[in-house]
Structures are given as C-alpha cells and as structure tokens.
C-alpha cells in the first residue's frame, strides 16, 4: 500500500481516467481527480472515494491553460503535501479523413492533446518528487494507422515524442516518464457513434477477441506508477495483442 503517495489524474472523471483514479486509490494513493468541464462528476467520484476511506479531492482546469493547471497542482500539494505521480488521461478524439478533415477541429484536438499534455508534463517535470512518475496516454493508432484516425494519431504521436525526450531530460531526478497506448477500450468516448457491427469488428481485432475495459488500462498505469521503476522512456501498447 502506497499510503504516503499522492497522484494527480487529469481527465480523472472520464472513462479511463476514472478507472485510473479508482485503481490508484485502491493502492493507497491520495488522489486529485481533475476535471475540465464536469465538476459534478469529479466531485461525486472524490466524495465516493472519501466515503470508502480514501483520500481524494477534485481539482479543475483546462489542461492547455498553464495558469489553471498550475493552480490544480497547487491545490493538490496543499491538500496532500506533494505530488508523486501525474497521469495525463485528458484528451479528445475527433475522427475523419485527412483530405476533408476540418482544420478548426484539428486545432481544437491538438490544443487538448498536444498543448495540454505538454503543459501538464512541463508542470510535472518541476513538481514531481523524487521517486515519482509521469504517465501520459497515447493510442495504439500510432501503430495501427487505421483510416480516419490520421489527425488523432498525429496528436498522439506528438505525445509519444514528448514523453521519450522528457524521460531523458529528467536524468538524475529519479522520475520515470512513460506513455500507455491503449487499443480499443469500451468507454463512452470510444463507443459513441459506433453501430453494433463496427463494435463487434473492433472487438475481434485482438487475439483475446474482446474490447479492452477501462480497468485494463488502470492496471497498466498502476504498474508504471508503483513497482515499475526500471521502465522509463517507453510506450506500453495495452491493446490485447493487436499487431
């Protein structure tokens, strides 16, 4: 049990984010549940964890706004005394062919996925305590390269590049920096707008022949946040074995 460890999870009220929050809390972490727009959901999650004996608070802010996120880091430190783990699950996914992709949508997605990840990573680089971990979230689409995922995969390829470089820039700090690249995971974000045939086809892609569950990603994050101190500067593809 990591009873003296503190984590800040961006997008903590979302599908994967919520699973990460619950998994880290189960491991004994005090957790700051970050939200951008859904304060009620983040508050409810933090309250539910507190009622179960865990330490949890909700913190808000646009991940791409450096001042708002500095305030979220401040609030976490003030509540718990420091930050040991930052998990960057906040992100948006907009799909469409490259040839006709709306550039305003591209800018909106890249603001959250690239600038937001950069802002949070920048803060983590200066705020994490020794022995800490930064875990960013990419996507298996950087490897799978399915049609309509071009803009999204481009934003997440940037996340992977940032993660690799930052791991090396933090030499001597005893801080690990890694990324998790999920495959298809049964979250509202993923399932929205897909018919049953599409979902079944995607579920058949992994050799395990099922969609990932948010808890599957939570397990990988908990590994990187806790015992996996010799894994650094890596992208872990958590996708059930999709080639």
Q: Enter the DSSP assignment of 139.
A: -
C-beta separation of 231 from 176 below 8 A: yes
Q: How far apart are CA 208 and CA 212, in angstroms?
A: 9
Give the torsion sign (CA, 100, 102, 106, 107).
positive
Q: Quick one: 160 exposed, middle or buried, by C-beta within 10 A (0-12, 13-18, 19+)?
A: middle
SS3 for 27? coil
Displacement of CA 2 from its chain's centroid (Å): 20
**Stretch (H or E) spanning 215:** helix 214-225
The answer to whether residue 149 is catalytic is: no
**Which of 73, 149, 152, 237 is an active site residue?**
152
Query: What would the two tokens of residue 148 be?
Result: 């309509």
How many CB atoms neighbour CB 169 within 10 A? 9
Residues 6+ away with beta carbon under 8 Å from 21:
9, 12, 31, 33, 45, 49, 56
**Longest CA span, the chain:** 52
Task: Write phi, then psi, for 89 (nearest 5 degrees).
Answer: -90, -10
- Rounded CA-CA distance 19/178 in Å is 18
Q: Which residues are catalytic?
A: 152
């Amino acid at each position: 049990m990591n009873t003296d460890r503190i984590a800040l999870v961006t997008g903590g009220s979302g599908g994967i984010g919520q699973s990460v929050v619950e998994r880290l809390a189960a491991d004994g972490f005090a957790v700051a549940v970050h939200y951008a727009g859904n304060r009620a959901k983040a508050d409810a999650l933090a309250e539910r964890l507190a009622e179960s004996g865990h330490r949890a608070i909700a913190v808000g802010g646009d991940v791409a706004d450096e001042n708002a996120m500095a305030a979220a880091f401040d609030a976490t430190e003030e509540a718990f005394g420091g930050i040991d783990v930052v998990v960057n699950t906040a992100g948006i996914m907009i799909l469409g062919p490259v040839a006709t992709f709306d550039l305003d949508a591209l800018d909106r997605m890249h603001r959250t996925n690239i600038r937001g990840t950069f802002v949070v990573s920048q803060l983590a680089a200066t705020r994490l305590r020794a022995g800490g971990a930064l875990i960013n979230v990419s996507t298996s689409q950087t490897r799978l390269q399915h049609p309509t995922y071009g803009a999204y995969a481009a934003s997440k390829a940037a996340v992977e590049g940032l993660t690799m470089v930052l791991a090396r820039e933090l030499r001597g700090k005893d801080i690990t920096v890694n990324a998790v690249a999920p495959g298809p995971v049964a979250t509202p974000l993923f399932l929205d707008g897909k018919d049953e045939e599409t979902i079944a086809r995607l579920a058949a892609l992994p050799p395990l022949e099922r969609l990932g569950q948010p808890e599957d990603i939570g397990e990988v994050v908990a590994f990187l946040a806790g015992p996996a101190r010799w894994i650094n500067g890596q992208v872990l593809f958590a996708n059930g074995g999709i080639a």
